[in-house]
Structure 1
């Protein structure tokens, strides 16, 4: 049974009902391919067949159990590698560096023809070149990897992380470990769990397998290559950026030292390698604010600065600031070390986050820009997406009181705090009639003592852990189609009426009878949003545009001001004159500046002053002012200030679209050329309107 059939079994086993259209979308397959795979599955199921009725499939509990049993049987049977998996196998073979690797070694291990191996090797060479790694051949040692040692390791790590992030499938790695007699996975897992408990090191549950596989492959490389020296490539960086003795005093270093003692032939792991492994552990584990570590003030200061900058850029009004600070600290400590030592990270939800939470993502992208100067390189999109998920917790923070009639939902999420927070928010919005307990990892499911009616899980759960409760499988970040499927699944599991959302495919079929549908997926999304009463959050109403907030009458072109206080008062006066704010709102900005300094100066020449709505914000607006002569505000790094964007916001969401566009404009040279050359406010307004129109046409 091939991997695509296996993937379809997994999809079907997690649902009670699916349309063929949904399967096409989720598997990127044609209907013909789906029918072919269903036939293959039915041949295995024998007496119980999966039937397609009116373009949809209903999966009964009996069939689901048979599908789960079939998956277990498949996991124990011979595994057939895809082309990409064969290439990764070959890379790992060269990575561990056995004494001699010939073409026949590849042929025998992969059980394919010579021509297939040569083709796979050619494709792998092209991929490796993109990472500055060469595959070379020498008669005395065979095939081997040449390049910067850190790059060679980084590629291996990225491939392991990517492979596991798809469907948590480690079959390829298990096969490779078995073929080459490497360390036993389960032994390493038990050992790491025991030592992590001993040293109080907490990993995100989904990343433990990643850590174990990478450690096994790295140890094999070091054992087979005694001449490997990372001192030039890695330790030299650390000598510039950190004190090695401080690193050796961490609990992570003690963890690494104890870990390698439990393996045979540990003498080949040098002090430099221990430092490398320590940095890697720091980039994988979860930070703990309660621990008095040497880096706690550095990390805390970074969290504080990011929260402060995000608050200014987004105009949010924090609730439960301490809880948000703790969650961000937990995530930012490993982020700090990944960025400091260029350690790889893969966020499988990156594209989904950028698509479904684009406004928030853009604001976070602007928020983290000061970090680029700290680490001397751009912040990877994968890291920005993770931070976006954490800042999403701000919007999930709301007080929920359970009523006696409410069902209770339990969220099981093993993808980390950010995923849990954003999933909690998604499900709370989708099901206001369900009271949700705080998310937990699957390993803690057996210990829960709270009563609940239904489980929402991001990972497959063993039946013995379900407490005889129905389970709905969800993604940490969902698009509109996936939200629709989850609502439908919950209604079927809880046997409630599915009255709010009709069969969307039938509605579209009816519409197509009477007219042309240019964007079927877009229409489906809008229908789902409308019928599920989520149009305010997910539908056509995307919040105010920048052109709606930045009314020309609020703008001040070539404004004259003698100092920062005069500039604040004059730039904010139009907000008072047109009923957007009271005089007290402007005075609060002035008083806060005198006490806290110019906290709203966000980058060179730009100020974005605002305070909490409680001080006198009446309407949502943005007053844009261009000073005739720049004024010193008191931020020596970013002074003088020429452009003032005075914000009034009433909540945390309505203005997000506008501000996400504004932070984009901050990076547009032509925008500031327009501000400098404009003779009237209408010229600035026209520029913004045209920019928004072009943006919409591109999307």
Structure 2
């Protein structure tokens, strides 16, 4: 069974119903290829075969069980490497440092022709060069990697993370380990789990495998390349940012010390290598706000600043500040060390987060900008996407009351707190009739005491221990197509009617009778999106131009001090029934107690308080001060532009504020504000800006 047939078997085994169009999208295959692979699968199946009826496939439980047996039976058979896997295999051979690597070694290991090896080597050289790594050949030494040691390691780490997170392919690494006599994965896993329990170090479940494989390859390289000295770049970064003696006192350093003692090659690890591994563990493990560590105040201060800034930029009012702080701390501590030591990170959900939660992503992107000054470089998009998922927990933070007649859903998510929060919120919106228990990792599923009717899981589960509970496999972040499939799957699993979920292909065929469809896939996605959303989701968020009523604007406003500026800029909100006078008073009182917390960047203030203090309608007053005024923020004063917000909830205004955040980075917008003679000029600029963004999306 080749890899593509195996991928189709895996897909079919996790679903009860799929259309051919959905399979085409999921597997990036043509319909002809799908039919060919189904025929191949049927040849392997005993009993009931897979049938395509009206361009769709219904997968019964009998067929599912046979498919799962097929996966198990083929686990020990030959594995066919893809072109990308062959290139990674060659890189890993050079990385671990076999004594001598010739062309024949590659041919023998990969079991392919000389021309194939040369072609793969040529492609690999291009990729390596783009990552500042050279592949060198020497008659005496054979093929080897040359370049900065940190770059060589970073590339290996990124490839391992990519392969595991995006392609879920641990079989490739097990094959490489077995064929090259490296440390056995299961042994390393047992050692690491035992030591992490001993040292109270917690990993996100999905990151454990990533850590183990990278450690195995890195240890082999250190053992075989005794002459390698870790890059002075890393050592200088560490000396500048960390007290080495303090680092040696951490539980992560003790963990590394214990870990390498469990291997024969442990003596090969120099003190620099131990510090490198310690930094890496700090960048992988989950932070604990209850621990009194040397860095706890630093991390807590960063979390506080981020929560504070996000609250101002988004207009969100936190309901459970302590819980949100704890969750962000858990994620921010490893993020801090990854950014500090330039450690690689891959977020397989990045593109989906940017697409499905774009408004929130843009606000978080602006939220993290002050962090760039700490690390002297931009925050990678992968990190911003992870933080977006964690801030998404704010919207999942609601009171859920179980009704006795409700079905109960269990969420199993091994991708971390942020993914769990996003998925929890998503499923609550999709299935208001199901009561959901709080998400847990797959390792804890057998310890749960509550009863449940259905499982939603992001990871493959051993169904033999789950008492025949129906399982629906989901993605941590779903697009419209995937939401539609999940709703359909749940209806089939729970044997409920899904007459409210139309057959999209039938609708498209009906439309074709009366006209030409220029973009069939686009129409299909829009229909899926519409029928998948509940009524609350169908309500579009407000545009900024709708919130920023020209009547609420003040052009060249004169004020004597910050309090006068707040009163005058907020008065129009009162005049036009967007807020009560008490709302303005509360902003002033809060400023006197807490300082000018709403001065978010140079020259810009975004004052607002909780709706309970007198917000009547959603609005945004814009005031341009004739003379900039000192508000009391030494770093960002004086203030020239005041954006006075009134919000009624945490979500309705989010779209508008994501546009406002984009405008904060648009120099032409501030040129417009400074030169405007009337509020209509400002309003027209905002409308044009929105139109441009919509045309590009």
* 1:500–1:532 Cα contact (<8 Å) kept: no
Give 3-state SS (helix, strand or coil) of 1:52's partner: coil
- 1:371-411 Cα distance to aligned partner (Å, 9 max, x none): 11111111011100111000000000111111110000000
Q: Residues of 2 paired with 1:117 and 1:144: CA distance?
A: 15
Q: How does 1:588-607 map to 2 (within 5 A)?
A: 588-607=586-605
1:553 is matched with: 551
Matched, 1:511 2:511: yes
Matched, 1:212 2:212: yes
Give 3-state SS (helix, strand or coil) of 1:144's partner: strand
Matched, 1:674 2:679: no
Q: Residues of 2 paired with 1:467 and 1:17: CA distance?
A: 22
* 1:455–1:471 Cα contact (<8 Å) kept: yes
Shift of 1:286: 0.6
Shift of 1:627: 1.0
Q: Quick check: 386-395 or 493-502, which moved more?
A: 493-502
Matched, 1:135 2:135: yes
Matched, 1:357 2:357: yes
Matched, 1:631 2:632: no
* 2:148–2:231 Cα contact (<8 Å) kept: no
Q: Residues of 2 paired with 1:472 and 1:612: CA distance?
A: 39
Give 3-state SS (helix, strand or coil) of 2:439's partner: coil
Q: Residues of 2 paired with 1:48 and 1:533: CA distance?
A: 36
* 2:409–2:455 Cα contact (<8 Å) kept: yes
Q: Residues of 1 paired with 2:433 and 2:489: CA distance?
A: 15
* 1:606–1:644 Cα contact (<8 Å) kept: yes
Q: Residues of 1 paired with 2:529 and 2:166: CA distance?
A: 28
Matched, 1:454 2:449: no
Structure 2: stretches of 5+ with no match in the other structure: none
Matched, 1:542 2:540: yes
Shift of 1:586: 0.7
Q: Residues of 2 paired with 1:83 and 1:195: CA distance?
A: 37
Shift of 1:167: 3.6
Q: Residues of 2 paired with 1:83 and 1:670: CA distance?
A: 48
Shift of 1:32: 1.0
Shift of 1:166: 2.2
Q: How does 1:171-190 map to 2 (within 5 A)?
A: 171-190=171-190
Q: Residues of 1 paired with 2:627 and 2:521: CA distance?
A: 51
Q: How does 1:130-279 map to 2 (within 5 A)?
A: 130-230=130-230, 232-279=232-279
Shift of 1:641: 0.9
Q: Which of 574, 577, 595 is residue 576 of structure 1 equivalent to?
A: 574
Distance of aligned partners of 1:533 and 1:422 in 2 relative to their CA distance in 1, 3 Å threshold:
closer
Q: Quick check: 273-282 or 523-532, which moved more?
A: 523-532
1:375 is matched with: 375
Shift of 1:37: 1.0
Distance of aligned partners of 1:518 and 1:556 in 2 relative to their CA distance in 1, 3 Å threshold:
farther
Q: Residues of 2 paired with 1:629 and 1:161: CA distance?
A: 53
2:95 is matched with: 95
1:289 is matched with: 289
Q: Residues of 2 paired with 1:176 and 1:16: CA distance?
A: 34
1:472 is matched with: 472
Matched, 1:435 2:435: yes
Q: Residues of 2 paired with 1:406 and 1:284: CA distance?
A: 38
1:313 is matched with: 313
Q: Residues of 2 paired with 1:517 and 1:593: CA distance?
A: 57
1:661 is matched with: 659
- 1:279-306 Cα distance to aligned partner (Å, 9 max, x none): 1001111111111111111111111110
- 1:118-176 Cα distance to aligned partner (Å, 9 max, x none): 11111011101111111111122111111111111000000000000124211221111
1:107 is matched with: 107
2:65 is matched with: 65
Q: Residues of 1 paired with 2:290 and 2:86: CA distance?
A: 45
Give 3-state SS (helix, strand or coil) of 1:306's partner: helix
Shift of 1:645: 0.6
Shift of 1:514: 1.9
Shift of 1:526: 4.0
Distance of aligned partners of 1:441 and 1:451 in 2 relative to their CA distance in 1, 3 Å threshold:
same
Structure 1: stretches of 5+ with no match in the other structure: none
Q: Residues of 2 paired with 1:30 and 1:453: CA distance?
A: 37
Give 3-state SS (helix, strand or coil) of 1:99's partner: coil
Shift of 1:231: 5.3
Distance of aligned partners of 1:660 and 1:518 in 2 relative to their CA distance in 1, 3 Å threshold:
farther
Q: How does 1:295-444 map to 2 (within 5 A)?
A: 295-444=295-444
* 2:46–2:66 Cα contact (<8 Å) kept: no
Shift of 1:565: 1.0
Q: Residues of 2 paired with 1:696 and 1:520: CA distance?
A: 21
Shift of 1:652: 0.5
* 2:364–2:387 Cα contact (<8 Å) kept: yes
1:694 is matched with: 692
* 1:149–1:233 Cα contact (<8 Å) kept: no
TM (norm. structure 1) is: 0.98
Shift of 1:418: 0.5
- 1:583-609 Cα distance to aligned partner (Å, 9 max, x none): 111111111111111100111111111
Q: Residues of 2 paired with 1:71 and 1:199: CA distance?
A: 37
* 1:626–1:676 Cα contact (<8 Å) kept: yes
Give 3-state SS (helix, strand or coil) of 2:144's partner: strand
Q: Residues of 2 paired with 1:520 and 1:426: CA distance?
A: 27
2:122 is matched with: 122
Q: Residues of 2 paired with 1:90 and 1:526: CA distance?
A: 44
* 1:231–1:272 Cα contact (<8 Å) kept: no
Equivalenced residues, count = 697
Give 3-state SS (helix, strand or coil) of 1:514's partner: coil
Q: Residues of 2 paired with 1:74 and 1:672: CA distance?
A: 63
Give 3-state SS (helix, strand or coil) of 2:370's partner: helix
Q: Residues of 1 paired with 2:178 and 2:354: CA distance?
A: 39
Q: Residues of 1 paired with 2:265 and 2:579: CA distance?
A: 71
* 2:324–2:394 Cα contact (<8 Å) kept: yes
1:280 is matched with: 280
Matched, 1:497 2:494: no
2:11 is matched with: 11
Shift of 1:535: 4.5
Distance of aligned partners of 1:431 and 1:127 in 2 relative to their CA distance in 1, 3 Å threshold:
same
* 1:410–1:455 Cα contact (<8 Å) kept: yes
* 1:131–1:155 Cα contact (<8 Å) kept: yes
- 1:324-352 Cα distance to aligned partner (Å, 9 max, x none): 11111111110000010011111111101
Shift of 1:207: 0.8
Give 3-state SS (helix, strand or coil) of 2:687's partner: helix
- 1:449-487 Cα distance to aligned partner (Å, 9 max, x none): 110000000011112232220100000011111111111
Q: Residues of 2 paired with 1:543 and 1:198: CA distance?
A: 49
Shift of 1:518: 3.7
